[in-house]
Structure 1
Amino acid sequence: MTTTPQTRPTISRTHSWVSPTVPADVAELSGLEFLERLVDGRIAPPPITGTLGFRLTHVERGVAVFVGETGEHLYNPLGSVHGGYLATLLDSALGCAVMTELPPGKAYTTAQLGVNLVRPVFADTGPLRCEARTLHVGRTIATAEAQVVGEGDGKLYAHATTTCAVFPMR
Structure 2
Amino acid sequence: MTVEIYPGMAVAGIGTLPLDVVARDGGLKVLRAMLSGDLPAPPMARTLAFSMTEVEEGRVVFAGLPSVDHLNPLGTVHGGWTATVMDSALGCAVFSTVRPGEAYTTIEFKLNLVRPVLPGMGEVFCEGRIVHRGRTIATSEAWLRDGKGKLLAHGTETCAIFPIENLMR
| Range with greater deviation from structure 2 (115-124 or 21-30) | 21-30
Distance in structure 2 (CA, Å) of the matches to 1:18 and 1:126: 23
CA contact (8 A) 2:15 2:41 kept: no
Match among 83, 90, 94 for residue 87 of structure 1: 83
Task: Flag the structure with higher strand content.
Answer: 2
Is it true that 1:58 corresponds to 2:54 in the alignment? yes
Corresponding residue for 1:160?
155
Corresponding residue for 1:70?
66
Specify every segment of 5 or more residues in structure 2 that has no aligned partner in the other structure, as ranges.
1-12
User: RMSD value over aligned CA atoms?
Assistant: 1.4
Which runs of structure 2 are paired with 1:1-16 in the superposition (5 Å)?
Answer: none
Match among 18, 21, 29 for residue 33 of structure 1: 29
Match among 79, 94, 115 for residue 111 of structure 2: 115
Give how far 1:122 is off: 0.9
Residue identity in the other structure for 2:162: F
Question: Which 4+ runs in 1 deviate beyond 6 A?
Answer: none
Give how far 1:21 is off: 4.5
Provide closer, same or farther for how the CA distance between residues 90 and 122 of structure 1 changes in structure 2, counting only shifts above 3 A. Answer: same
Q: Report the TM-score, using the length of structure 1 for normalisation.
A: 0.87
What number of residue pairs does the alignment pair up?
Answer: 154
**Rg (Cα) greater in structure:** 1
Residue identity in the other structure for 1:161: T
Distance in structure 2 (CA, Å) of the matches to 1:108 and 1:25: 15
Q: Report the TM-score, using the length of structure 2 for normalisation.
A: 0.87
Cα deviation code 1:4-51 (max 9, x no counterpart) = xxxxxxxxxxxxx64435164321102100000000000011101110
Provide closer, same or farther for how the CA distance between residues 90 and 19 of structure 1 changes in structure 2, counting only shifts above 3 A. Answer: closer
Distance in structure 1 (CA, Å) of the matches to 2:60 and 2:155: 14
Is it true that 1:169 corresponds to 2:155 in the alignment? no
Give how far 1:99 is off: 0.8
Distance in structure 1 (CA, Å) of the matches to 2:116 and 2:127: 18
